[in-house]
Amino acid sequence: MKLRPWNNIKIDECNEPLISIPKSIFRLTPHPYMSLGAPYLTGADPWVLRRSVLNRLIRAQQHLSEINPQVQLALFDAWRPISVQKFMFNHTIQETCKSKGIDINNLSVNEEINDVIEEVGRFWAKPSSDPLTPPPHSTGAAIDLTLADMTNKPLDLGGEIDFIGPESWPDFYKKDSFKLLLSKYQVFQDRRSLLFSVMEQAGFVQHPNEWWHFSYGDQLWSWLTKKGNAIYGAALEVSKDITLLDPSLVT
């Protein structure tokens, strides 16, 4: 599997701790990967991020509230141990093969299986333990999220999170939204644009293949912003420190 262009970015780890995301930011429950049996350590909390990333997430929620008080951010996933990345990477390959009618245990269809692995790899980062190429979520710098109304009902953004296919590209509906005004395509594009806008305003970058994936401080962020280096590598432990850089951001 090919390295992504941002995997060559140098990481100057700043040793900022992972801290808990306040429950004032809505999260989708039950946690999707825990529900599948992903191997989190006993008592592990997936709802953690690096301190500066969390501050920016809170800022994004505030931006959204100012623009549209009827909508809120809805968290899908945050920090992800490499063991969970490996579990989900393999799970997605298995499920994609199953959906295509490919027997993953049949050696005669290795070429088809390899095609699936490549396809999955465009969305799921390789579960590498190499400190030079950490999966984004393992750094505590990346978050998957969508939008929800104030009754905690997720809005339809034209595709499920983690879907393997072109519908997941951030601007997939842009062309059709211009052609068909007041259509569902325009609604999908407007909602994706709103999510992108508030996250970008808070300093995040968006994954080029995933409308739901945003990050700050990792290799992708450095590559897109031309910062020269990333500031977060893989984060293995959760700090007991829950102090934000800017306590006034907590509401």
Outline where DSSP puts E strands in the chain.
Answer: 18-20, 48-50, 71-77, 142-149, 205-206, 213-215
H or E element, residue 185: helix 184-201
Q: Which of 13, 119, 167, 210 is catalytic?
A: 210
112 catalytic residue (yes or no): no
Report d(CA 180, CA 35) in Å as an integer.
Answer: 38
The beta-carbon contacts of 30-33 under 8 Å, at least 24 apart in sequence, are 31/77, 32/76, 32/77, 32/162, 33/77, 33/80, 33/84, 33/87, 33/88
Q: Which of 157, 200, 199, 218 is nearest to 7 (CA)?
A: 218
Q: Whole-angstrom Cα distance, residue 177 to residue 76?
A: 26
Q: How far apart are CA 195 and CA 75, in angstroms?
A: 12
Catalytically active residues, by annotation: 210
